[in-house]
Structure 1
Amino acid sequence: MPHDFTDRTVVVLGGGSGIGLEVARRVVAAGARVVLGGRGEEKLAAAAGELGDAAHWRRVDTTDQASLIAFFAGLTDFDGVDRVHHLFTPAASYRTGPMLELSDEDAESAFESKFWGQYYAVKHAAPLLAPDASVVLMSGAASVRPVGAAPSYVACNAAIEGLGRGLAVELAPVRVNVVSPGMVDGNLWSQRPAEVREPAAATWREANLLQRAGTEGEIAEAVLFLFSNGYTTGSTLYPDGGYALR
C-alpha cells in the first residue's frame, strides 16, 4: 500500500544528503511538506531546491542545544508549519577506533553527536509534536554485533536503542522507534578513500546473509514504515541484510 503523507510536516535533521535526503524525497512524493536541518547550508539549499515548494530548510547544529532550540522555535515561521508529525534524526559526525588508541575526545564524539544530539533534538521538538506524531532515531547494527574495534561506537548505538524505548514510554501516545541499518552503499560511504572502502565492503559482504551492502532507498523505506505504522512504538528495526544473525 502506498504511503500517504498528505498535509503532514516531516522534519529531517541531516536532510541535506544521504539517507535523510532520500527520506525527504519519498515523503514529499507522498504529499508531505518537509523541513530539512543540518550544518551544510549549500547542501540544504540544493536539497530543498530539488524537492521544490514543499521543502524548507534551516541551519542547525545538533551538538549545540541553543542551535536546536532556535531551529524548532523557528519552524512556525514557515507557511503551513504549525505542528511536527514526523521527525527523523540521522545527523551525526563522530570518530571511531580501538579504546587503547583513540583519544578521549574522539571516543566521546559518538555520544556527543549521535546520542546526545538525538536526545536533545527530541527534547526541543517535543512541544511541537502532534499527538499522533512519530519519531525515528538512527542507530546502527553494530549495537547488537560489534564490528571491528570501536567499543564506544558500539555502546553509543546500543544506548540510542535504549533511548528509543525510554522515549516511547515517556512521550506516548507519540510513537518513538529506531532504525538500525548495516553498511549502506550511498553518499557517506562513497566519500571514503577507495583503499578503505573496498576492503570494508568485501568484509561486509561476507558478514551478512544477503552478501551485499544496503541502499539509501532501502533504509528510507524502513523509516517510512516506522513513520506510518500506527501500532509500532519502542521498537528497533534492523535493515542490515541479516548482519546481526551471522
Structure 2
Amino acid sequence: MSSYNFAGKHVLVIGGTSGIGRAVVEHAAAQGARVTAAARNTGSADLPTGVAIEHVDLTSTSSVESLFERIGAFDHLVLSAGPGAMGGIRELSSEQVRPFMDIKFWGYYEAVRAAADRIAKDGSITLVGGAASRKHAPGRPMMAAINAALEAFGKANAIDLAPIRVNVIAPGLVDTPAYAGMPEEIREGMLRGYAASVPAGRAGLPSDVATAATFLMGNTFITGTVLDVDGGVHVS
C-alpha cells in the first residue's frame, strides 16, 4: 500500500463490493478513510467494519443521482464497474454490445456528472478502464472502444473539472471473480498465457490496481493521466 493517510476523508467506490472495486475499498479503509461502497448487487457483500454499503444502478440516471444525494460530502470517487464486451464484430450486434457501453461509459458519465458539484474541490475522480484501449487482441473491439473513450473522457474532465483531479487506471488481465464462471482449466490457461507474455511474469491481482488507485487519490500533483497497471503488456 502507499503511505498516504486518508483520515478524515470520505471515499466513494462504485463497483465496490467485488473484484478491483472491493480491493480499493479495503485499501482505502486500511489507510484511514471513511468508505462507502456502492454497487448494483450488495446482498452478499462482506466488507471491512465501518464501510457503508449503498445500492446504485449505473444504467439509471435517477439511481445515480439518488446515491449522491444520500451519501453527502465526499472527497474521492473511484469507478470500477462493468463487465468486458467479449466478441468480434461478426458475433456481436450493436444491440448486444450497447448494455456494456451503457454501464461502463454512460454509467461512468452519469456518476462523474453527479459528482462534479458535490465532490471536494481538492478531491479526485479515478476511472478504472482497461489495457484493451491500446493493446488490441482478437475479439475485443468493443472493449477497446469503451476503454479508449474512458481515457479521453478522463483527460478532458481533468481540464473541465479542475482543480478536481481526474485520472484513469488501465489494468491488464486481473484475476477477479469476473472470471469465476469460466471452466477452471480455461481460466487457468488464460492466466498462465498472460503471465508468459508480459515482463512481470504474472497476471494482475485486485490489490495491484487498488494500490494504484490510492496512489492517485493521495498524490495531489497527478491529474489527466492514464496509469497502466498491466505487468508490462504494452512493451511485450
Report the TM-score when normalising by structure 2.
0.94
Aligned positions, number: 235
Alignment of 1:73-152 (within 5 A): 73-76=69-72, 83-152=73-142
2:55–2:67 contact (8 Å) kept in structure 1: yes
My pick for the range that moved more, 115-124 or 201-210, is: 201-210
Aligned equivalent of 1:222? 212
Residue segments in structure 1 that go unaligned for 5+ positions in a row: 77-82
Counterpart of 1:72 in structure 2 is 68
Cα RMSD of the aligned pairs, angstroms, is 1.4
| Equivalent residues of 1:94, 1:109 under 8 A apart | no
Q: Is structure 2 residue 186 aligned with structure 1 residue 189? A: no
2:207 is aligned with 1:206: no
Q: What letter matches 1:126 in structure 2?
A: A
| SS of corresponding position for 1:52 | coil
Which structure's residues are more often helix, by fraction? 1
Secondary structure of 1:172's aligned partner: coil
- Contact kept in structure 2, 1:17 and 1:43, CA below 8 Å: no
Cα deviation for residue 42 of structure 1 reads 1.0
List gaps (5 residues or longer) in structure 2.
none
Q: Indicate the residue corresponding to 1:23 in structure 2.
A: 24
In 1, Cα distance between the equivalents of 2:83 and 2:66? 20
1:13 aligns with 2:3: no
Higher relative contact order by CA 8 Å / sep ≥ 6: 1 or 2?
A: 2
1:203 CA displacement: 2.5
Instruction: Answer yes or no: is the 8 Å Cα contact 2:192–2:203 preserved in 1.
Output: no
Match of 1:238, SS? strand
For residue 116 of structure 1, report the CA deviation from its aligned partner: 1.0
- Measured against aligned partners, the alpha-carbon deviations of 1:69-124 in whole angstroms (never above 9, x if no partner) come to 11111113xxxxxx211100001135320101112222223321111111111101
Q: Does the aligned pair in 2 maintain the 1:62–1:121 contact within 8 Å?
A: yes
Any conservation in 2 of the 1:8–1:85 contact (CA below 8 Å)? yes
Change (3 A) 1:93 1:142: closer
Alignment-mate amino acid for residue 63 of structure 1: T
Structure 1 consecutive aligned stretches of length 4 or more whose deviation exceeds 3 Å: none
Q: TM-score, normalised by structure 1?
A: 0.91
Is 1:61 the counterpart of 2:34 in the alignment?
Answer: no
Among the aligned pairs, what percent are the same residue?
Answer: 35
